[in-house]
Structure 1
Amino acid sequence: MIKLISTITLSVSAFFVSAQTVDLCVPENFDFDPTLLAPDKQIKVSSDAAQMIQNRSALFNGNVSITSPTSMINADVAQIDNNGKQVIASGDVLYRDSALEVESQGVELNSDLKLLQMQDTEYQFKETSGRGSANLLSLSGEQGLRLEHVTFTTCPKGGEDWKMAASEIIIGKDSPFGEAYNTKFYLGGVPVFWLPYFAFPVTAERQSGLLFPNIGSSSSTGAEYEQPVYWNIAPNYDATVAPRFMTNRGVQLKTEFRYLFQQNQGELQLEYLPEDTDTTSNDERYFYRYLHQGKISKNWNLNVDFSGISDDNYIVDLGSDYYNRADTHLYRQAGLSYYSSNLDFSIQFRDFDVVGDHPDVYRALPEMKLNYDTDLGEYLEFNLASEAAYFENKLDSKPNAFRVHIEPSLSIPYQRAWGELLAEVSVLQTYYEQELSPVTPVAQLEENVSRTIGQGRLYGSLIFENEDLVLDNQFMLTIEPKAQYLYTSFEEQDNIGLYDTTPLLTTFNNLFRGQEFTGLDRINDNNQFTLGATARLVDQQNREKLVLSIGQIFYLEDSKLISSVRENNRSALAAEFDWQVNQRWFLHSDIQVATQTQKVERSSFATEYRIDDDKLIQMNHRFIRDLSGEKINQFGVSASWPINESWHWVGRWYRDAELSRTTESFAGIQYESCCWAVRVTYQRNLSNRFDDGGLRTTDEFDSGIALQFVIKGIGSRKSNSDMLEQGMFGYRQPYVLN
């Protein structure tokens, strides 16, 4: 009897409780005192009256209580026969254990047959709000669990917004699956879905089956329905196949395969639309992506990120879970790296799938880097940075090139709690072999170039701490001034092409890098001082609450490098500001002000009021005076807030003040009860489509509506703020302090 009662708890609980991955209603509580259970391997029976029959049977009447080491049964009448091997209880039977309560009109237990049956049951789980009924609950030690005419819901009594009802549910012995027959799903008492048969998991392990569908509509795809199917191939392999039906474009197949090993993991995504009925030629369209991260040995790592699409407008028209509609390049790279205490080595193959009519970028096929550092004494360090790369371009008008760079340096670092001092000298030696052709437009390029540049740097920073706490003795104030002198010799570099080099933004962190370009193709000459300071407010738990940084470069000489002609003897003034006003208010801002015109060149601002993931309001602004000949002046508002206990709304709005138009608007509303939820979202934004010439359109808009339905208890639910992550801009926290 003890074994059978334990088994029924595990089986029934596994069916319904294993799917509980979300917060549900507060379950109805029932009394269960584990201290009243019987000792191990014992069964206690008590009643108002008892009658023994020939020492083989016993009849108990009135307030019958049968207690085992794991559960308790209460009944009006109980009969125990065959020396306790058969028990029959009737009349308002109540079964209870630590997880489950079952009300029944009759219980029959036969230990010889290993069979337990309960008639006309009403069950309730203690830890969740799952509950239901079954005309017959039969548990066999040989065949497993069988439920006839069973229902299940996570809604409270009297408020069954949804429920499922099946004519029969069977959970075989030691089977990870249950089987349901003739199942109907009800919403508000109305049947909305019927399945003649379906299988479901009865353990916490991942199991194959249908996932919740995605339903929506947009001007690009029309009405669409996507039905994901999950396949649990093995404990470390799985796959998801999702047919997507679109009225405007046809049927698309989306697939994802994932694997996981002790030291390696990866995933492969394939999307294929054989005929796009919205195009004049019914084009086939596809997307693929392979991602791998893993260790080959203790020190060696292998990484792969490879993507591709059939055409420029694929992401714009069909969307993507991995790329944004504004992206212009899809990664294609593979790399092998080695790490040790003194030596780092990596080899990377970097390629791109270029989207739109952008200048074709250079591929690094391959790019190798080796860094070595060691101590030459107590205060002297040696570092060797080296690189070898072959750059390839598909355009005949651009040369391919092989580049080797070696950069030895000696430094004297001195670090203490009060600050840091650093003296460093370096030699930057670079050699180029450029494959020129008659169509190369830059006539001054040379096939072989050797460039040698010397550099010296002195850097120092101090940390001043106020011994007295400020602002009502709550915070410690630190001020950290820093200064750098940098000298870099000059060598003309117009005979070198641009392979991985672009100008850097004048941010506070970039002020102390000493270079105005990324990459190695342009190294500007320097004779300059950089001054800056950072102020911090730190609370008594050593958490930063406010950080303000400001700095500027002062040029002692004009740059001789043609690519780095400066119009003033000072750089733009760069500042950054982060402030956690309190537990709910956050502010972030950065700004660059040109010293010659005293005008703001770049700025961004974000402020957020946040109570939790579902209650937040964020305002932000972005300004760039000149970005490829265009001015950027955009303002945005994002919000997520409950209307009442059941209704919740989110919204986002971005406006381009320069063009006087809204670039994106997004709104979503959700109704949520304790046992189900429904979401409706609407979005209108710039389509960013490419025309036949590969240029983005700037006047076409795309709009769409989406519907998401969640039955709690048999699905999962994210917080409301995840709706804000959709769209062009999406939601991002303004900053993160430590």
Structure 2
Amino acid sequence: MSKFPPRRLLAVAAALALIGGQADAKGSQNRPKTSLDGSEQVCPLGSFHCAPRPYSYAMCRPNAMLEFYDPTLSTDSDLRDVSPAYVKAKSVDSSNQTVYHLAGDAWLTRADQRLQADTIDYNDDTTDYDARGNVRYQEAGQLMAGSHMRGNTQASRGIADDVRYQLLDARGNGVAKQGQMLDAQHTRYSMATYSTCDVGNHVWEFRGKTITLNKDTGVGVARDATMRIGKVPFLYLPYFSFPIDHRRKSGFLYPTFSKSSRSGFEISTPYYLNLAPNYDATLDPRLYTSRGPMLAGEFRYLVPGSSGQLNVEYVPNDHGDNDGLANTHGTSRYLIDYTDRTQLWQGWSFVGSYNHASDSSYLYDYGNALSHTVIYTLASNAAIIGGGKWWNASFGGTLYQNTNPFATDASLPYQQLPYANFSMNVPLTRWLQFGMDDGAASFSKNGYVEGQRVDLYPYLAGDFGTSAWFVRPKLAYRYTGYQLSGDYQNYGYYGLLGSGTASPFTQKSPSRSLPVVSLDTGLVFDRSTSLFGQSYTQTLEPRLYYLYVPYRNQNNLPLFDTSLMSFDYWQLFSPNQFSGADRQMNANNLTGAITTRLLDDDGVERLSASFGQIHYFTPQRVQLPSGANTVTPVTDWSGSAYVAQLDLQLSDRWRLSSEYQWDPNNHVTDMASLELQHRLGSDGIINFSYHYRRGLMEQYSASAVYPLSERWRLLGSWTYSVPIKNVIGVPTGTVDAMAGVEYDSCCVTLRLVERNYVNQNYYGVAPVPSGSNINHRDNAVMFEVVFKGLGSSGGQIDSLLRRDILGYQ
């Protein structure tokens, strides 16, 4: 074996030239950590948001490499400039001191680079080289083979014939009649193919007259190209660009094909524009067979101190059938969604959003019913927000638009224009804090009482204790005052115009003020125990919470943003059962609760069980109205419902969560829920749930991702609602059913999903709307294909599956 100086490296340029510049060897540290070996991070049970499953190449042949690949060769490209070059051949002729001739299985190796050929000629003065016969090249990011290679190392130029190449970082591979290196960053292949499938087993590939790879931009371009599935051509593209690394690039995204009841078949062909490193855009022309063409677009920006996104959809001429909801036939329709966040000065920012549709039926007609939940209102907001170490504040306004064509604007929340909020929490000593939660707003809503409200809520809070006990007293004072509009006398208790003959508002400036006193105490005991041969730490945590709030008559206060919150375990320790500031409950209550937990040796909580109840020493006199002019009678109960909850996960494959409320006053179950989750292998999940709330709902749900084999997965979800007596406007029977199938292979993933569901716009509407074009049930179908390494058809199915199947990846 001979040793060459670093200057005499025959294959430096040839290596970069003929693999196409796809992967910079020095960038190998940027490879996806889970994309090439098929490994993935499994989403923990109970997670509501699971990260997308990375592309799995586990089904690719483990040794699907060009035959000369040497896994023992160094992968550290940083050593090239300081490493000598070694050559090996059966004969070395250096009689000409300028030209070196290597013959007979010639090898040249430096750091991570190796060039092999039958014969190699190298000119030390001009740095020209010529390698002939069974030429093979390997470096950290790529492999290449050819019959003949020649070029110049100093100029970084080279040409190779009958090329086979493989990109190790991105799995791209193919063949070409000729490969030409234009410089160190640009390579062009003639009569070439490209695919991310196994070498020699291309399920898909595209063939181009020329394929150019640009390392500077991370983009490959194929001209006069044909996309093929197997040997069958199915798409011709005169120009096609694709990524060769993980940077963004301009180009067509894969089209989406779907169908829904309201808009018919949809074909979408988005085009992505990588305008600059800090802003980009997507143009998305669509065609709806039942309604006509649409142009949609998205623009995102990130500039110093500001970021935002603008989404626009525009229909120039809707030719859908009229259905009595809105006269939209022949009209232009649109949707605007804009958000922005801008840094104003230190600690202060502007946040804003503008959401508006041309009409209330727009989302009903064009909303993607397959992958999105129904939106009943569009909110627009603008605010200046700030914060410091112990405080935060906001000032702005919020407006709403009705997007439920079956409901009137009476269903909208009050507009708040303007509003102001201020909160602070200042430590006075190590155990004492002073704080406040204050707000002021002007409320407006057509046909309802309007006015301004100020809510002041200062408090002193103490925090005493150790890891074994705590005592947390809190003394607060709440003042809420109103300035109602001039015609307040015309409104009734509910705020409705003309409904107040029995109980109209009698004061222009009503107010309420009262103290709120609470004492929260608890103990924590622990011991070592064992269960099923596993050691645990068990805790026992009794807790007492006392709350005192004197009664104030609040029947003359309007209801701007207040509602009764659902009762659950955490309501046992809440100072108010109402959201908003329009009602403050009266209380002379004592809550008793106890919790036990099991913690494994790693500190992971495997079991948590809690039980509690509120004991009322005085009646609950503050109530919301049960009708236009009536007030719910005083509740004279000795105690609240008993509340119990359980979370159990003794293994990483099973999880059970349950909650139960039993009312001892009426001897009925108020609420019950059960959720069971089981993981199948690393990519399967089964969920079952039951939810019941007295007088409101009773539903069963099941969902699953069931792996049939390494390549096939079944996907499905089902929700069934039991009829509730004397409750109208709530759908019963099968509310939502979704079924799908997913096929995964080395380089292609296919998904087909169908959804049948009750149109949720009817929820709470009575009588249920009728008409020849009113869809009481809707259907949606979508097909998606993912060519691994190139992109997908939009990923819209993923959002549906993540929403409907807990733990889906």
TM-score normalised per structure 2: 0.83
3-state SS of paired residue (2:227): strand
Identify if the C-alpha distance between structure 1 residues 378 and 31 changes in structure 2 by more than 3 Å, giving closer, same or farther. Answer: closer
Instruction: Indicate the residue corresponding to 2:64 in structure 1.
Output: 28
Q: How far apart, in 1, do the equivalents of 2:386 and 2:610 lie?
A: 36
Q: How far apart, in 2, do the equivalents of 1:384 and 1:175 lie?
A: 53
Give per-residue Cα distances to partners, 1:1-44, cap 9 Å, x unaligned: 56523532774324999998633324524215446999847544
Is contact 1:135–1:150 with CA below 8 Å preserved after alignment? yes
Instruction: Indicate the residue corresponding to 1:364 in structure 2.
Output: 416
Is contact 2:181–2:188 with CA below 8 Å preserved after alignment? yes
Q: How far apart, in 2, do the equivalents of 1:380 and 1:104 lie?
A: 78
Identify if the C-alpha distance between structure 1 residues 660 and 447 changes in structure 2 by more than 3 Å, giving closer, same or farther. Answer: closer
Instruction: Indicate the residue corresponding to 1:478 in structure 2.
Output: 539
Matched ranges for 1:242-391 at <5 A: 242-261=284-303, 263-280=305-322, 281-320=329-368, 324-356=372-404, 357=407, 358-377=410-429, 379-391=431-443
Query: Is residue 2:728 matched to residue 1:656?
Result: no
Instruction: Indicate the residue corresponding to 1:680 in structure 2.
Output: 752
Q: How far apart, in 2, do the equivalents of 1:382 and 1:67 lie?
A: 72
Q: How far apart, in 1, do the equivalents of 2:534 and 2:245 lie?
A: 54
Q: How far apart, in 2, do the equivalents of 1:115 and 1:487 lie?
A: 84
Q: How far apart, in 1, do the equivalents of 2:331 and 2:176 lie?
A: 54
Matched ranges for 1:435-514 at <5 A: 435-437=485-487, 439-441=490-492, 442=500, 443-468=504-529, 472=533, 474-514=535-575
AA of the residue aligned to 2:710? E
Give per-residue Cα distances to partners, 1:371-391, cap 9 Å, x unaligned: 334344555433333222211
Instruction: Indicate the residue corresponding to 1:520 in structure 2.
Output: 581
Instruction: Indicate the residue corresponding to 1:102 in structure 2.
Output: 144
AA of the residue aligned to 1:461? G
Is contact 2:621–2:635 with CA below 8 Å preserved after alignment? no
Give per-residue Cα distances to partners, 1:679-716, cap 9 Å, x unaligned: 1111111123469x997659711112211111122125
Unaligned runs of 5+ in 2: 1-9, 36-54, 323-328, 493-499, 625-631, 724-730
Q: How far apart, in 1, do the equivalents of 2:793 and 2:412 lie?
A: 43
AA of the residue aligned to 2:759? S
Matched ranges for 1:566-581 at <5 A: 566-581=635-650
Is contact 2:120–2:130 with CA below 8 Å preserved after alignment? yes
Shift of 1:527: 1.6
Identify if the C-alpha distance between structure 1 residues 724 and 667 changes in structure 2 by more than 3 Å, giving closer, same or farther. Answer: farther
Query: Is residue 2:270 matched to residue 1:228?
Result: yes
Shift of 1:127: 4.6
Instruction: Indicate the residue corresponding to 2:224 in structure 1.
Output: 182
Give per-residue Cα distances to partners, 1:89-139, cap 9 Å, x unaligned: 212122222222222111112347653111111122345543211111111
Give per-residue Cα distances to partners, 1:285-331, cap 9 Å, x unaligned: 32222223454344223322332223333333322599954432222
Unaligned runs of 5+ in 1: none
Identify if the C-alpha distance between structure 1 residues 471 and 340 changes in structure 2 by more than 3 Å, giving closer, same or farther. Answer: farther
Query: Is residue 2:106 matched to residue 1:64?
Result: yes
Q: How far apart, in 2, do the equivalents of 1:68 and 1:121 lie?
A: 22
Q: How far apart, in 2, do the equivalents of 1:258 and 1:161 lie?
A: 35
Identify if the C-alpha distance between structure 1 residues 529 and 255 changes in structure 2 by more than 3 Å, giving closer, same or farther. Answer: same
AA of the residue aligned to 1:31? D
Out of 16, 27, 39, which is 1:7 matched to?
A: 16
Is contact 2:250–2:271 with CA below 8 Å preserved after alignment? yes
Query: Is residue 2:781 matched to residue 1:705?
Result: yes
Identify if the C-alpha distance between structure 1 residues 110 and 492 changes in structure 2 by more than 3 Å, giving closer, same or farther. Answer: closer
Is contact 2:747–2:788 with CA below 8 Å preserved after alignment? yes
Is contact 1:516–1:524 with CA below 8 Å preserved after alignment? yes
AA of the residue aligned to 1:638? S
Is contact 1:211–1:227 with CA below 8 Å preserved after alignment? yes
Q: How far apart, in 1, do the equivalents of 2:802 and 2:217 lie?
A: 46
Give per-residue Cα distances to partners, 1:197-231, cap 9 Å, x unaligned: 23445554211111111111222222211111111
Instruction: Indicate the residue corresponding to 2:89 in structure 1.
Output: 47
Identify if the C-alpha distance between structure 1 residues 202 and 594 changes in structure 2 by more than 3 Å, giving closer, same or farther. Answer: same
Is contact 2:355–2:379 with CA below 8 Å preserved after alignment? yes
AA of the residue aligned to 1:4? A
Matched ranges for 1:119-268 at <5 A: 119-127=161-169, 129-141=171-183, 144-171=186-213, 174=216, 177-202=219-244, 204-261=246-303, 263-268=305-310
Q: How far apart, in 2, do the equivalents of 1:39 and 1:383 lie?
A: 63
Q: How far apart, in 2, do the equivalents of 1:341 and 1:80 lie?
A: 69
Q: How far apart, in 1, do the equivalents of 2:739 and 2:148 lie?
A: 54
Is contact 1:470–1:476 with CA below 8 Å preserved after alignment? no
Instruction: Indicate the residue corresponding to 2:660 in structure 1.
Output: 591
Q: How far apart, in 1, do the equivalents of 2:446 and 2:512 lie?
A: 26
Shift of 1:609: 0.4
Give per-residue Cα distances to partners, 1:140-165, cap 9 Å, x unaligned: 33994221111122222453211111
Q: How far apart, in 1, do the equivalents of 2:595 and 2:186 lie?
A: 69
Is contact 2:737–2:756 with CA below 8 Å preserved after alignment? yes
Identify if the C-alpha distance between structure 1 residues 130 and 242 changes in structure 2 by more than 3 Å, giving closer, same or farther. Answer: same
Shift of 1:52: 4.9
Out of 445, 461, 476, which is 1:426 matched to?
A: 476
Shift of 1:487: 1.7
Q: How far apart, in 1, do the equivalents of 2:472 and 2:185 lie?
A: 76
Q: How far apart, in 1, do the equivalents of 2:185 and 2:677 lie?
A: 58
Identify if the C-alpha distance between structure 1 residues 671 and 384 changes in structure 2 by more than 3 Å, giving closer, same or farther. Answer: closer
3-state SS of paired residue (1:167): strand
Identify if the C-alpha distance between structure 1 residues 326 and 132 changes in structure 2 by more than 3 Å, giving closer, same or farther. Answer: closer
Identify if the C-alpha distance between structure 1 residues 479 and 38 changes in structure 2 by more than 3 Å, giving closer, same or farther. Answer: closer
3-state SS of paired residue (1:12): coil
3-state SS of paired residue (1:509): helix
Q: How far apart, in 1, do the equivalents of 2:306 and 2:579 lie?
A: 32
Instruction: Indicate the residue corresponding to 1:416 in structure 2.
Output: 466
AA of the residue aligned to 2:659? D
Out of 424, 427, 445, which is 1:393 matched to?
A: 445
Identify if the C-alpha distance between structure 1 residues 328 and 465 changes in structure 2 by more than 3 Å, giving closer, same or farther. Answer: same
Shift of 1:509: 0.3
Q: How far apart, in 2, do the equivalents of 1:229 and 1:705 lie?
A: 23
Give per-residue Cα distances to partners, 1:538-580, cap 9 Å, x unaligned: 1111111111222211111113335462152221222222111
Aligned residue pairs total: 725
Give per-residue Cα distances to partners, 1:652-682, cap 9 Å, x unaligned: 1111222762111111112222011221111
Name whichever of 593-602 and 39-48 sits farther off: 39-48
Query: Is residue 2:612 matched to residue 1:551?
Result: yes
Is contact 1:315–1:323 with CA below 8 Å preserved after alignment? no
TM-score normalised per structure 1: 0.90
Out of 631, 641, 644, which is 2:709 matched to?
A: 644
Q: How far apart, in 1, do the equivalents of 2:807 and 2:506 lie?
A: 46
